[in-house]
Amino acid sequence: MNEQMWERVLYNFKVVSEIPRETGNEKGISDYLVGFAKKNDLEVVQDKELNVIIKKNGTEGYESSQPVIIQGHMDMVCVKDNDVDIDFSKNPIDIYFDKDRLTARGTSLGADNGIALAYAMTILESDELKHPPLEVLFTTGEEVGMDGAAVIEPEDFKGKMLINIDSEEEGKILTSCAGGITSTIKLPIKWKPAKNKYVPCLISISGLMGGHSGIEIHKGRANAIKLMGRILSSVRHNMKMRIVKVEGGSKRNAIPVEAQATVMVESPDLLEREIGGFYQIVQKEYLSADPNIKIDAAPLEKGKVKKVMTAKTANRLTALITLIPDGVQTMHRDIEGLVQSSNNVGILSIDDTQVSIVNCIRSSSASLKRDMVDRLEKLAYLTSSEVESFNDYPEWEYQKESLLRDKCVEAYESLYEKKPEITAIHAGLECGMLGARLDGLDMVSIGPDIFDAHTTRESVSVSSAKRTFEFLIKILEQIVQP
């Protein structure tokens, strides 16, 4: 691969970074990809979910080979630092180079999964590369439940090999992943008038590392929502307190980095001392895993709060937040170090009628996934709440025999004179959904080193991204099927 082609990958990544593509707002990027295909005289299909399929003939010597599917998703998780002024529905991502890292100023980068778009676009527009016929699939809604992948039509594809470009560690070839489901617990709220003798105060948690709830769930990082539940329970045991509002998290599949609670207390000074004592405990607990946690309490302007939760509602709320399972639940018995099942308490929100707690459940076992939903349903029953489950997507099971996997290993060894790692991932990939939609798919997932996805620290190693692109090109050169 020449340097000019690599520069084209970086250019294409910059282009897609300038197009708003937060999950649910993919029309702009979807339409751009359609225009890109037409500009390059390529066959293109855009379906009702705005998925885009672009097809390209095989190059000389590869014309009669079976098509290969290259796949990535066009949406991204959009998060920002509090002091960053950006409208993700209109503004581009401000990307820049920091030595070997490509990152963004104050926001998530979107390398998950913009890197797949940049790779595929560069291959599609090139006249130099050798490859079999290609069916490039760009999906929508991956970050909220793989909505696009769930509706693809089998008749749009002839290929039986699929290369997913949505993993985040170079040198690893993924061959299976977890399935998942989103379960939201809804607790009805009963209110009562606030008493004037109580002072409103704001409790805030910030500074957490957060991270991807699949890839980084095993790192033991703090969950701001769960910490807030502990704080509220602890304070209510030691002093009189009324709860007005509790909120935290922004994405179901990102470990929450912030949470806030508005409460009413008789003594703000006593509350600050209670919070200070709890903060010292948390600092010790997360000294290594999450060292920059901040917990503050401060009084607010009097007279603004007109109502508070009843004691029964507050009891049920604190019970829910503290008792909902969070983090790793089971480890895989056959694959050392692999998380089998987990839950991420991702979003806590409130309105006049209810508190909603959104949970992102993952498991490579369908029965264990169902068991976690069942536990949430029982917890909801005990607290007079309801559970709504949706975005249920299947796991991707390991195949003992895989020609594509063998070809990938050969390509990797020919480039680097060492074997890649064949492994699995706890995060959800679209391979499970695509495998359910397209019978008989032989699949792998690859990708460069991406760090801190779904956070404002997200970055991608430029040298790793370049090597992974070379690896993808080599795979396509060596896949010659009858």
What residues act catalytically?
Answer: 75, 142
Residue 477 one-letter amino acid: E
The DSSP output letter for 15 is H
Kindly state the helix (H) or strand (E) to which residue 275 belongs, with its residue range. Answer: helix 268-285
For 278, the enclosing helix (H) or strand (E) is: helix 268-285
DSSP state of 217: G
Task: Give the pair of three-digit tokens for residue 142.
Answer: 């991956």
At residue 363, φ and ψ (nearest 5 deg) are -165, 145
- Burial grade of 475 (CB within 10 A; 0-12, 13-18, 19 or more): buried
At how many degrees (to 10) do helices 27-39 and 3-17 cross?
140
Contacts of 303 (CB under 8 A, 6+ apart): none
User: ∠ at Cα 127 (431, 114), nearest 5°?
Assistant: 35
**182 near 372, Cβ under 8 Å?**
no
Contact indicator for 481, 406 with CB cutoff of 8 Å: no
